[in-house]
Amino acid sequence: MSEKQGKRINSMTGFGKASAKSINCACYAEIKSVNHRYLEINTKIPDEFLKLDLEIKKIAKSYIKRGAAYLSLNFIYEAGVDLKVDDKLFQKLLKLEKDIESRHGINQSLNIHYILSYPGVVKQVRPQIPFKEKRELILGALKSALESLSASRNQEGKVLQKDLQVHLNIIEKNLHVIERIEKNRENILLKRMQDQAVKRQQTQGGAQMPLPSIAEEVVRLRSHIRAAKGLLARGGVIGRELDFLAQEMNRETNTVSAKALSSTTARSVVKVKAEIEKIREQALNIE
């Protein structure tokens, strides 16, 4: 069966291997996966099984949704390969040797070793094992290796999930700090502006300029954080969505920095941007 997504988050990096054996032969499968923007399955299999390549890739795609995977299959015949003599070629070489001896008056005992060592005289022949039996071994080893790979990717995914939750929580805490700092600074500036407005009205009058506000950006940042936490709770293939949210969070944070009324806010903004960058880095490793 293919991997069920459920509420799991998978890393794109992992490794799995397995084998399947019968009395006559054995198949060994190894597969590793790394980060990639899309899904890419690369196979390295013996020539006699190349016609299974599409079927193998289809099965692999039912386990892997994103990333570059490298699959290697090695097929072993337990009794080794059989040897077969090409009788026609052997007879031609034997006749050629006798003709040369006759024409040139060479008298020596026949050395069959030289004829047998001629390329193509002795051929390696695979044991006569039904292809169906070999196919079952290959697919059995393949699926077991993919299960192993899935477990590896999921184990790392659990670590990434916890790590991302930490980063999001740190961002939320710093947003509270930013709001508090900005609110205090806004109150101070408003009081100062009100005092100045009173003086202007007493002299020349004039309208009071409004102060820049980060309220909208903070609301959108909190919305993005909730969306990111929702993705982590939902699980499945979320890497690209998470990366998009991180980009949006970074854009809103830049606006907060530009609108900030207090220089102290910059410290928290730097912390928020650092956490967002960590989220982006992790998102690149999530399926």
The proportion of the chain whose per-residue pLDDT surpasses 70, expressed as a percent, equals: 84
Strand 67-77, strand 25-34: pairing: antiparallel
Task: List phi, psi (to 5°) of 3.
Answer: -65, 130
Tell me the torsion sign for CA atoms 199, 201, 206, 212. positive
- DSSP three-state, residue 206: coil
Give the side-chain half-sphere CA count within 13 A for 98: 7
* Interior angle at CA 232, CA 229 and CA 236, nearest 5: 145
Tens of pLDDT, residue by residue over 112-152, are: 777 777 777 677 667 778 899 999 999 999 999 999 999 99
What is the per-residue pLDDT for 79? 64
Nearest to 227 by CA among 213, 256, 247, 253: 247
Q: What span, in angstroms and rounded, lies between the C-alpha atoms of 249 and 164?
A: 14
Joined together, the tokens standing for residue 11 give 């890393």
Q: What span, in angstroms and rounded, lies between the C-alpha atoms of 112 and 114?
A: 5
Tens of pLDDT, residue by residue over 1-54, are: 444 444 689 999 999 999 999 888 899 999 999 999 899 999 999 998 999 999
- DSSP three-state, residue 38: coil
Joined together, the tokens standing for residue 32 give 């590793």
CB 286 within 8 A of CB 11: yes
Give the E-state strand segments of 59-197 in sequence order: 67-77, 82-85, 122-125
Nearest to 148 by CA among 8, 14, 27, 34: 14
Q: What span, in angstroms and rounded, lies between the C-alpha atoms of 21 and 37?
A: 36
Residue with tokens 């502006």: 193
Distances (CA, A) of 156 to 13, 14, 161: 8, 8, 9
Tens of pLDDT, residue by residue over 216-243, are: 899 999 999 999 999 999 999 999 999 9
What is the per-residue pLDDT for 113? 76
